[in-house]
Structure 1
Amino acid sequence: SVILNRPKMIEKNTDNRIFTDIFANDDSILFYAPIRVYNIHPSCGPSKGGTAISITGTGFVNSDKLRVRFTYGDLSQEVQCMLDNATNSLVCKTPKFEEYDGEKHPSVHLPCDCYLSVTMDGINYSECEMPFKIYSNEISLTSLVPKSGSVKGGSDLTLLIDIDQTTADSIHNLTVGFQPKSKKGQTTNNPSRLDANKNSRQSLNDSSQRGSRVNITAGFEGNQGRDFTSELVNYTCAEGRYENGQIICKVPTLPPGQFDPDSNLQYNVDIALNGQQFTGKPLIFRYYDIRLTSIDPPFAQSEGGASINISGRGIYDSQIKRFKFACDNGGER
């Protein structure tokens, strides 16, 4: 019998690689694995372009000829990208898909799949195993219920949206943003609000946070040091859930000291289907911070029917206003 020594186990540089050739001699074995591109994050974006994406694969190397090719309909565009050494992924921004030479192209019917290919040398391209979904810029919210909520947050908010099923199936990291409705001559970009919104974004799911961290590192030609999550900066964000033409989320809490309780707390509410880019067509939601100060008269007969005046701060007129009367014994009306 012949006893052979067990070959040494290969443990490094094997993750997600597909080996297509093996070359061996008496002294060594050479395994060949071509470049593999298998993931895009986020996996969808609007036709206006500008989505910061992270492309994951194997065999990526840094080069001044790194580029990503986007193929959709009968069209193809290329953009520069860079290698993020921290994640070993390629990062870039999607081009503007909706127009070609200034006009809408007849071969592009939204939503549609876009196929990405990457090159390290400007000659050989490797196609990604998953497509990138392009959706229409015209998608927007149609209504929201209820139209107001407490600054304490936590209540359910339902948003109706005009969206096709194909795009709905491609939603990635759905984010609902709440932004103070600024008055003329005012801006929401003050440091205290930015700090508060930065904290509020921690409520987003883990995948959204991972995407944001990757996007911040992108800094290729023409975008050196740019933060691609800038659209999120002025928003207090909540994670959304899509169900049968509706988006459901929890109303986020407004931190004390970050708003004027006696002002008109109207907020723009918008959605980012890819967790990054809002539609730019918000609806109005009103926060309230009601503090009752007096009841006149302070008592009445148990039979009810008495007229009372309730005074306080933060009160405003609403078609669905209600009062709740609670008793010490636990009863309420």
Structure 2
Amino acid sequence: YCSSPELSFEFVDNLLVTSILPMSGLVSGGTVILVKGENFLPNSMLLCKFGEAEVEGRLISDTQVECISPNTSIADASRVVALSLSTNGVDFVSGPDFIFYEEISVSSLTPSMGPIEGGTLARIHGSNFIYSEFLRCKFGSNVAVASFISVEEIACIVPPREQAGNVSLSLSNNGVDFFPSSLTFQYYESVKVHSLWPKHGKASGGTSVTIAGARFENTESLSCMFGIEIVSGSFVSTEEITCVAPALTSSIAYFAAVEISLNGYDFTTDGVLYEYVDDAALLSVSPVSGPTSGGSAVTLTGTNFVGSDTPLCRFGDVTVAGLLLSLSEIECVTPPMSNRGISSST
């Protein structure tokens, strides 16, 4: 007969795993995972298992355990595995799935600039994006929620920033592990439109319009919008640009707000109006002759003489200011001419 020490076996309440955060991480491992549930007990055999890979867990409380995702070698760009937990090293309780993904790479950002107020819809192309509610973009230190489009494209609403300047772009599939990129986003101060000249132009388009405002920049995407029609702009100075008005179409009202964009996407909302008028037509001139010394009052009769207090008359190569009498009559005084002959009036 031999005696042996008395051994004990402890019965414990069943484990319950309710959530994990984040729910994804790099295939190279190292992501800190917070596992939440019930009946977590201190035990030297506390283990987390990602698929078949086991790692030690760290007890935070009876409802929280921390695990670090292992390095796993996989062939696919992403892989879903079950995450399970054990307090005795033998009996594992399954929790939510965990996704392993490859490192994100970024190839392009469009547009690459926007106003400091934020709100720019930025599209980012690259690889290894995953569909996740925790997909994020980071502009400098400001984080924005991202929308999944495909494994090669996501979209983000750029957050606001207090001052203009360039910031770095980084991305995350899980909201925790951010991947830096070589791309930057340029914040600029908001553009303003103050006035237009001329304020109206012919319905067939082609009028060169000078736009006065503030904080214009010479960018590749400098644009003007007439109503909803967008045309390219030409930089003159930080306070002036020019644009050629597009033709009046069914999508443009006769009065169209003219707005400016530095990036081709975000336009001003100042509401300065440009008026489209039907093309003017010159029907007759009276009198039809006068002395070369000039000074003859000439009445031009036609249609659609609209919108200007100072219409212009051209005799040959000489332009003079006229007086608008009505929508069908303009009076001009002939300039001195060096030679006799016929000069056209327009």
Aligned-residue offset at 1:136: 0.8
SS of residue paired to 1:158: strand
Partner of 1:266: 166
Equivalent residues of 2:199, 2:274 under 8 A apart: no
Partner of 1:40: 20
Aligned 1:299-318 pairs, distance under 5 A:
300=198, 302-303=200-201, 312-313=214-215, 315-318=216-219
Higher RCO (CA-CA < 8 Å; seq separation 6+): 1
Aligned-residue offset at 1:42: 1.7
Residue 142 of structure 2, aligned match among 213, 236, 250 = 236
Structure 2 length-normalised TM: 0.53
Partner of 2:298: none
Deviations 1:51-101 (A, max 9, x none): 2212123321234543323345xxx3413322246xx22123223335xxx
* 1:178 to 2:139 alignment: yes
Between the two proteins, the alignment pairs up a number of residues equal to 219
Equivalent residues of 1:154, 1:250 under 8 A apart: yes
Report the residue type matching 1:239 in the other structure: V
Distance 1:321 1:52, change over 3 A: same
SS of residue paired to 2:130: helix
Partner of 2:58: 81
Equivalent residues of 1:48, 1:97 under 8 A apart: yes
Richer in strand (by share): 2
Structure 1: how far apart are the matches of 2:76 and 2:200?
Answer: 67
Structure 1: how far apart are the matches of 2:145 and 2:110?
Answer: 17
Unaligned runs of at least 5 residues, structure 1 = 1-30, 99-106, 180-234
Report the residue type matching 2:144 in the other structure: A
Aligned 1:219-234 pairs, distance under 5 A:
none
Distance 1:156 1:59, change over 3 A: same
Structure 1: how far apart are the matches of 2:14 and 2:194?
Answer: 76
* 1:246 to 2:146 alignment: no
Report the residue type matching 2:220 in the other structure: Q
Partner of 2:42: 62
SS of residue paired to 1:237: strand
Partner of 1:128: 94
Aligned 1:197-212 pairs, distance under 5 A:
none
Structure 2: how far apart are the matches of 1:330 and 1:311?
Answer: 11
Structure 1: how far apart are the matches of 2:271 and 2:133?
Answer: 48
Aligned 1:10-29 pairs, distance under 5 A:
none
Richer in helix (by share): 1
Q: Percent identity between the aligned chains?
A: 21
SS of residue paired to 1:283: strand
Unaligned runs of at least 5 residues, structure 2 = 1-10, 227-256, 259-269, 276-346
Structure 2: how far apart are the matches of 1:330 and 1:150?
Answer: 20
Report the residue type matching 1:168 in the other structure: I
Partner of 1:286: 186
User: Which has the higher Rg, Structure 1 or Structure 2?
Assistant: 2
Structure 2: how far apart are the matches of 1:282 and 1:273?
Answer: 18
Structure 1 length-normalised TM: 0.55
Distance 1:329 1:84, change over 3 A: closer
